[in-house]
Structure 1
Amino acid sequence: RDAARGDVAARFDSTGATVETAFVLGEFYRRQGVWKFRAVGQGYDSGLEGLATDFGITVDEPQQTAPAEPPPAPSAPPVSLSKITLTKSAPSVSLAKQGGSSGAMRVNLNWQVRKQFSGWGSKRGRAVAMHADLDLDLCALYELTDGRKGVVQALGNAYGALHQPPYIHLDGDDRTGAVASGENLTVNLDHKRDFRRILVFVTIYEGARSFADLHATVTLQPQYGAPVDFSLDECTVPSTVCALALITNTGDDLVVRREARYLVPERGVSPQRTVDQVYGWGMNWTPGRK
């Protein structure tokens, strides 16, 4: 509510809860000197512990007072819960085999600037520009099994939705690149059968001419499975858009493939249209802004 007038400034009705015992209702964040509020509506059936863990907070295990007993015999093949790092030689992983076939999966991008520039500089003969106010945007192209296609991105306020199509939600627009925050997408794996493919990519919105002097890491953290991460290769081309990971529905599983592919848009072609053309999404694009 507006403190001076007492009237309602914004309203968000969070509906559809079932077994959740903790909720992130909304969040305040500061962007370009202005405070903004975003409705979230993210629920957790694991309570406050699940919410805290999702935001990088380590929760101590409770003291065990009951006597130990042998675990029950497994009724299904065991899954690996150790972290998986994707590489060029081993670029793909099955989410089901890692135990991550349900719940919410957070996709995090964090980065570090190798060098700071206030103007033009050079790196191995390449001209680059880097500014302190660097703004990278994590995005996702999606194609659902019913044929619907679209994009989730901060540009145009296309933040998506977690509990209705496209079942992908962009959490925010970060400028720090810190590991604890960075840019985050959340994918609702409970609707994995509705996905045909998801392409996660990142664009430079402002503050740099290319990825040449950035070091970035991508982490996919399923709610119930092992984390999957990989680092991006060093950029050697004047790229403003990088395809990060392709998630494909194989019928009864989702497979994550490391792309780490830097793309160079042609003159007058947007980064979004460029990644669309390379991966054959076939969408129509119009100019937009944040």
Structure 2
Amino acid sequence: MMKGSNTPVPTGALRVDLGRRTGPGVPDVDASALLLVGGKVRSDADFVFYNQPVHFSGAIRHEGKRDAGGQVTDTLLVDLAHVEPAIETIVLAASADGGTFGQVPGLSIEVRDAAAGTAVARFDNPGATTETAFVLGEFYRRQGAWKFRAVGQGYSSGLEGLATDYGITVDEPQQATPAPAAAPPPPAAPVTAHPVTPPPPPAPPVTAHPVAPPPPAAPPAPEPVRLTKVTLTKSAPSVSLTKQGGTSGALHVNLNWEVRKQFSGWSSKFGRPTAMHSDLDLDLCVLYELTDGSKGVVQALGNSFGSLHRPPFIHLDGDDRTGASTAGENLTVNLDHKQAFRRILVFVTIYEGARSFADLHATVTLRPQHGAPIEFSLDECTVPSLVCALALITNTGGDLVVQREARYLVPERGVSPQRTVDHAYGWGMNWTPGRK
């Protein structure tokens, strides 16, 4: 499509892929969406991005990034059939993190039918220089139907400036205003003698009246949107939760994935991937070691879902067998008991449906209740792996450090994925066969 052109789109579920090429010196790029009425959001809840990934209506969600051989795609899923009738426009934007769009090669936006997988519209950005945010396209209503317009409008003020222009309240540090100096008290008036005044006559009797109840308190103002995040990479693989302010409350860990080419493993004869079944089932798991010396595993296998309010203070929320749901695989760590943790290893295993992670595109997000979210993508799998170590959280004595692992492991013949990751990280546990 040319800049400014438009095309009809189906009123159904659409995948919006923000694509770019990666390489040395290329900044990260994030997709976002704003739902507008009269050119503005109704509230901060109408902003969908990495820190607020699902709109309350369920019509739009941010699905995260995939890196396939140097081509990075950040995806929004937009279900136009479920967009509220009041919404007139959905702005589809991109923001550069740590650089400008002049450093980003191959920036594009592609709209695909989510069910059929067919392309509906595509716009390749014609060029950029110093811009740090772009409105690449928009969905808009016209005579009861939806259309997509290629926009290509750049901003030099980043995601914060773009969001503010559409009415979003952004959380930013404010400097405290110094209190005014207290004025000196006025000089005391001279004391003079006065004749004593007789007391006033008694007041008339007071008649009781019903007291009107006070007006209801106004609801608290919503918290402003936080735009900060941490992206872990091979060159910058760790971050301190303590320095981020994320050492209390709940730490949510999410794994989302997508199978693109439908591979299932590795041919023993040729060493090449073979067809993957559609019922791929991945399991998010945790090995934990507490400061009292106890060790264990939290996983769906054997119904070892853990507990949030008693040891190990880790709970697996569910078992997603597709990876395509809004939630994905999730677990929660209770950081109010951080003093009980020595180390926590988050890993993922293939339970059934494949014999390798080949061509699996996954994103890991750790979202502390306080502090910036932490995210990273898994590398391409080039070995016949059934288990991948994702992240290691270590209590170093007053500090909690998150380390990106993204390490594919290959079990030896007859050895389970759990035993394989145990051996690789020296947990030293005894294992017995189990089932879901």
Deviation of residue 129 (structure 1)?
A: 3.9
1:282 aligns with 2:428: yes
Identify the match of residue 207 of structure 1 among 353, 363, 369: 353
Structure 1 residue 230 corresponds to structure 2 residue 397: no
State the partner residue of 1:254: 400
1:175-234 deviation line (CA, Å, top 9, x unaligned): 221373110010001111100000000000000110012011100000111000000000
If asked which structure has higher relative contact order (CA below 8 Å, sep 6+), I would say 1
Q: Which moved more, 1:161-170 or 1:125-134?
A: 125-134
Give the structure 2 partner of residue 94 of structure 1.
Answer: 240
CA distance in 2, matches of 1:120, 1:194: 41
Secondary structure of the residue aligned to 2:370 is coil
Equivalent pair of 1:121/1:129 in contact (CA under 8 Å): no
Q: Which has the larger radius of gyration?
A: 2
Deviation at 1:57, TM superposition (A): 4.1
- 1:197 partnered with 2:343: yes
Partner of 1:138: 284
**Structure 1 counterpart SS, 2:353:** strand
Deviations 1:232-260 (A, max 9, x none): 00000000000000000011111000000
Out of 299, 309, 312, the position equivalent to 1:153 is 299
Q: Does 1:115 align with 2:261?
A: yes
For the 8 Å contact 1:128–1:208, the answer to whether it is kept is no
Alpha-carbon separation, structure 1, partners of 2:345 and 2:279: 26
Which residue identity does 1:247 align to in structure 2? I
Q: Does 1:168 pair with 2:291?
A: no
Relative to structure 1, is the Cα distance of residues 287 and 55 closer, same or farther in structure 2, using a 3 angstrom cutoff?
farther
Q: How far apart are 1:96 and its partner, in Å?
A: 1.3
TM-score norm. by structure 2 comes to 0.48
1:204 and 1:276 map into 2 onto residues whose CA distance is: 16
Structure 1, unaligned runs of 5 or more: 1-48, 64-69, 74-79
2:414 matched residue in structure 1: 268
55 and 158 in structure 1: CA distance in 2 versus 1, 3 angstrom threshold: farther
Q: What's the C-alpha RMSD, in Å, of the aligned pairs?
A: 2.8
Percent identical across equivalent pairs?
79
Partner SS, residue 243 of structure 2: helix
- Cα–Cα, structure 1 residues 90 and 134, in superposed 2: closer, same or farther, change >3 Å? same
1:220/1:227 contact within 8 Å kept: yes
1:269 maps to a residue whose letter is V
Indicate conservation of the 8 Å contact 1:120/1:130, yes or no: no
CA contact (8 A) 1:137 1:154 kept: yes
Amino acid at match of 1:201: F
Secondary structure in structure 2 of the residue aligned to 1:163? coil
Relative distance call for 1:221 and 1:183 in structure 2 (3 A) is: same
Q: What is residue 34 of structure 1 aligned with on the other side?
A: none
In structure 2, what is the Cα distance between the partners aligned to 1:256 and 1:179? Answer: 26
Moved more, 159-168 or 126-135: 126-135
Number of residue-to-residue matches in the alignment: 225
User: What TM-score, normalized to structure 1?
Assistant: 0.71
- Counterpart amino acid of residue 205 in structure 1: Y
> 1:97-154 CA deviation, whole Å, 9 max, x = no partner?
11211100100000010212589889x9513341100100000000000000000000
Aligned partner of residue 131 in structure 1, secondary structure:
coil
Match of 1:93, SS state, is strand
Q: Quick check: 2:265–2:358 contact (8 Å CA) kept in 1?
A: no
Distance of 1:180 and 1:269 partners within structure 2:
33
Question: Counterpart of 1:263 in structure 2: which amino acid?
Answer: L
| Residues 224 and 156 (structure 1), Cα distance of their counterparts in 2 relative to 1, 3 Å cut | same
Residue 82 of structure 1 deviates from its aligned partner by 1.3
Q: Which runs of 5+ in 2 are unaligned?
A: 1-44, 57-166, 168-173, 178-225
